[in-house]
Structure 1
Amino acid sequence: MNERGFATITVANVSVAFGGIAALTDVSMKLQQREVFGLIGPNGAGKTTMVNVLSGFQRPTQGSVTLDGIEIGARGPHSAARIGVGRTFQAGRLFRDLTVGENLTIAAMGAGMGMRKARWRAGAILNWMGCEDMAQQRCDSLSYGNERRIGIGRALALAPKFVLLDEPASGMNDAESDALMRLIASIPGEFDCGVLLIEHNMEVIMGACERIHVLDGGRTIAEGNPAAIMHNPDVRRAYLGDKGKGGVTPVKAA
């Protein structure tokens, strides 16, 4: 834990290679339990590979990932979840033949809660999200935007110390993205849970994140607060090429 008593994920000199092709090269970062931390970069930068390493789905070729000194990267996803790391996927992966409430309850029970406590937690999360009227709705009838939101709720039902959100605003319209941004920004205070956010919608990133880490070609090119990232020349080049001037424009990526 850090000096304030909050949990910390430490990524130390992590590299990942697939058949000799480097997906990540010597990446280091720290995630704090009560902040929203953005991870951005152009397509193919290594963002999802990093989330897979953080959640135990991918073993690093070199380096280490620890949560308060406990190794994550070599343990597999079930062990990562048990020590406090939850995640969403770009595809919803809900149990589509079950209701929304059942999906969240099952997740909470998977974290070791009894049925009564798990149902209570599922209801509390749906109330917080403004989705309490969806509790009895089957997941195969959800709109795309609601499916993405329920995916976040299911990850939070695990009572994690950190939740990793992989492009949660993908496919949402402006109003849905704005509402999601506010929801994500409130997670640390509401659930005592750190957030790693991957997102191409720069309005969501700039509005929700306290710190942002930028990858390009699997390597770190910048880290800092949103204002510093917006005006960083290396970030401008990564997103806009040499013609980029005046900072990264916080609008949706095409």
Structure 2
Amino acid sequence: MISIDDVTVAFGGVTALNCLTVILDKPVFGIIGPNGAGKTTFLNVLSGFVTPQSGQITMDGADILRLAPHQRARWGLRRSFQKEQVVDELSVEDNVRVVLDPLAMSGNDRERALMAALEFVGLSAVRGLNAAGLNAFERRMVEIARCVVGKPRLILLDEPGAGFSQGEVDRLRQIIDGIRAFNGATTLLIDHDVDLIQAVCQDTMVLDFGSLIAVGATAAVLTDPKVRAVYLGMEDVAA
């Protein structure tokens, strides 16, 4: 369980997160909102790239804000970014293996974890190829493999479905849907694809100008008039 209590982030005169308080306790939790709503800032706070002015965040009882980014990674936090960060000069398996290097695992356990992650995302057949030869979806799968490999506790996915075909998004949906069974991790998913959010997220929260405007079961949130007015742009729906 992730408990966020009164978290505020401001950049100069702009409040990116405004007294955010929410409990995230579902296997896959959606985060939606218009551009500039504070979604990526929230992931940056969880990752340790942004320090909030106030508030507290605990994950399974651990005070995450006291940990440096590399300590959060060792704790079990993994993240993909809007722009994938695959290293062209490395093979597919070496791109994933680097995540395991800082972890206290035996060599055999590392290789088993690596092979399991590549199999999970469908990259076993190309594991020895240089990443430079991969297509865009395969590169995204390398990022997902880095998130699921080993024993992560919390996985942050920032718009993983952007720019892909419907068939590719369907495959991504299957993978995200299977993460909890694969390794037990909780996943936080940001995406503008409402169909993807609805398909895989048990609960969803909606941010607007850094403030939480709705949170709860995804189907109920997506039909909330406030959400439809703010996020879906339905100006004729009363807030």
Deviation at 1:31, TM superposition (A): 2.3
- Structure 1: which amino acid aligns with 2:12? G
Compare 209-218 and 107-116 and name the one that shifted more.
107-116
The answer on 1:241 being equivalent to 2:230 is no
* Mapped contact 1:188–1:194 kept (Cα < 8 A): yes
Mapping of 1:209-248 within 5 angstroms? 209-243=201-235
Aligned equivalents of 2:103, 2:85: Cα separation in 1: 18
Aligned equivalents of 1:134, 1:151: Cα separation in 2: 14
- Structure 2: which amino acid aligns with 1:30? I
* Mapped contact 1:212–1:223 kept (Cα < 8 A): yes
Aligned equivalents of 1:74, 1:219: Cα separation in 2: 24
Deviation at 1:110, TM superposition (A): 2.3
Aligned length: 237
* Mapped contact 2:116–2:149 kept (Cα < 8 A): no
The equivalent position to 2:28 in structure 1, one of 36, 44, 48, is 36
Match of 2:16 in 1: 23
Q: Please give the root-mean-square deviation of Cα atoms over the aligned residues, in Å.
A: 1.5
Aligned equivalents of 2:88, 2:58: Cα separation in 1: 33
Deviation at 1:95, TM superposition (A): 2.3
Structure 1: give runs of 5+ residues left out of the alignment: 1-7, 246-254
Distance 1:177 1:82, change over 3 A: same
Aligned equivalents of 2:163, 2:33: Cα separation in 1: 18
- Structure 2: which amino acid aligns with 1:72? I
Match of 1:79 in 2: 71
Q: Deviations over 1:160-181 (max 9, x none)?
A: 1110101111111111011101
The equivalent position to 1:162 in structure 2, one of 149, 154, 169, is 154
Secondary structure of the residue aligned to 1:23 is strand
Q: Deviations over 1:141-166 (max 9, x none)?
A: 21111111110111212521110101
Q: Deviations over 1:35-84 (max 9, x none)?
A: 10001100000000000111111111110111123222342211111222
The equivalent position to 2:119 in structure 1, one of 127, 148, 168, is 127
- Structure 2: which amino acid aligns with 1:20? G
* Mapped contact 1:59–1:74 kept (Cα < 8 A): no
Q: Deviations over 1:8-33 (max 9, x none)?
A: 2211111100112100001112223x
Deviation at 1:125, TM superposition (A): 1.0
Q: Deviations over 1:204-232 (max 9, x none)?
A: 10000000010011000001112101210
The equivalent position to 2:163 in structure 1, one of 156, 171, 179, is 171
The answer on 1:189 being equivalent to 2:181 is yes
- Structure 2: which amino acid aligns with 1:155? C
Deviation at 1:244, TM superposition (A): 5.3
TM-score of the two chains, using structure 2 as the length reference? 0.94
* Mapped contact 2:204–2:221 kept (Cα < 8 A): yes
Match of 1:105 in 2: 97
Match of 1:48 in 2: 40
Q: Deviations over 1:70-101 (max 9, x none)?
A: 22234221111122211111121122211111
Secondary structure of the residue aligned to 2:101 is helix
Secondary structure of the residue aligned to 1:119 is helix
* Mapped contact 1:85–1:162 kept (Cα < 8 A): yes
- Structure 2: which amino acid aligns with 1:26? C
Secondary structure of the residue aligned to 1:168 is coil
The answer on 1:140 being equivalent to 2:122 is no
* Mapped contact 1:86–1:158 kept (Cα < 8 A): no
Q: Deviations over 1:87-141 (max 9, x none)?
A: 1111211222111111112212222223332122111111122221011011122
TM-score of the two chains, using structure 1 as the length reference? 0.89
